[in-house]
Structures are given as structure tokens and as C-alpha cells.
Amino acid sequence: MEQHLLRLTVNDQDYELYINPKALLVEVIRDHLGLTGTKRGCESVSCGACTVMIEGMAVKSCSVLAMQADGMRVTTVEGLEKDGRLDPIQKAFLDQGAYQCGFCTSGMLMSSRAFLDETSNPTMHEIREGIEGNLCRCTGYNSIVRALDSVAKGKYREEGQ
């Protein structure tokens, strides 16, 4: 199969690679770039484990061809931490114990970050709606919702995060 040139900026690093034009973004992220924090779950756009951000918007990376992201800026869970400092949402997940097996966590973090970037002062109901595309079999969601709420209320801003 003819390979196509893909240019991507992932976690502030530029990449140029030749790929099968039918490759999904999740495949390129994991198999070509080795960024395995992004999980492959259902592969049918249901679970959210593969969520990344494209140009700041949460996208299920099993739902798009990698070529659809050509020339764009992609952020994976590996890109949340900056200069050795966790993103506030990562800190909040740790503080609230918002994970158990962890399989959903990277996708949940990316959806949460995108949601909080777009929504100021969300209600608990809005938070639940904001992450409804991400499934978690373990936590019952309450600790995850508390984590988002604590970030939305500025807890980590006060700590200089």
C-alpha cells in the first residue's frame, strides 16, 4: 500500500512520517510514536480510553484517520505534564483517588482537561455531562467528578499549579 507523508505536532514536538493512509490516529500515536499512554479500548468510539486533544479539542483517536490530523497539534496524556509539573487535573486525580485499574485514566484526563478549558464554573451536572463520553468500570465516577470540581474551583491555582 502506498504510504502517505503525515506531519504532526505531538506534545510540542514535530514529526514527519510515512504511514498507511488508512491508519487510525490511535495507531500512529501508539505504534509509530510509541506514546502508549493513549489506550486502545473498544475501538468503536464508545469507551473514550483513546481520547487525545486535537487543537485543544477532545477527540477519540480511534474515530479519526491519522491523515485527518495532518498539520495539526495533538496533545496526548504524556503532554499534560509541563517542565516536570503535573497538570492540575492530574494532581486532582491523584488527590481524589480518581482511578483504580487506570485503563480509562489517560482518556478521562484528556476529556477533563478539554472540558475545563472550555467551561468555567461548571456545575456537578455539567461536569458529569462533560465526561459522559468516557467510561470507567471501576470508580463509580464520584471521585472523578470531585477531581474536576476541585480544579474548576481553583484549588490548584492557589498552589501555583
Nearest to 25 by CA among 56, 79, 63: 63
100 contacts ligand FES (rule: CB under 6 A):
yes
102 contacts ligand FES (rule: CB under 6 A):
yes
Show the binding pattern over residues 56-95: x = contacts ligand FES (CB under 6 A), - = does not.
----x-x---------------------------------
Indicate the residue among 60 and 146 with the shorter CB distance to ligand FES.
Answer: 60
| Piece of the chain touching ligand FES by CB under 6 A; list 9-17, 45-53, 89-97, 119-127 | 45-53
Instruction: Report the residue from 46, 68, 123, 142 that binds ligand FES according to the rule CB under 6 A.
Output: 46
Indicate the residue among 4 and 40 with the shorter CB distance to ligand FES.
Answer: 40
DSSP bridge pairs for 15: 8
3-state secondary structure of 20: coil
Angle at the Cα of 41 (from 139 to 115), degrees rounded to 5?
A: 60
Q: Which amino acid is at 92?
A: A
Instruction: Report the residue from 101, 117, 124, 140 that binds ligand FES according to the rule CB under 6 A.
Output: 101
Binding residue count for ligand FES, defined by CB under 6 A: 23
Alpha-helical (H) ranges within 75-154 are 88-96, 105-118, 124-130, 142-152
* Sign of the Cα pseudo-torsion (142, 112, 81, 118, in order): negative
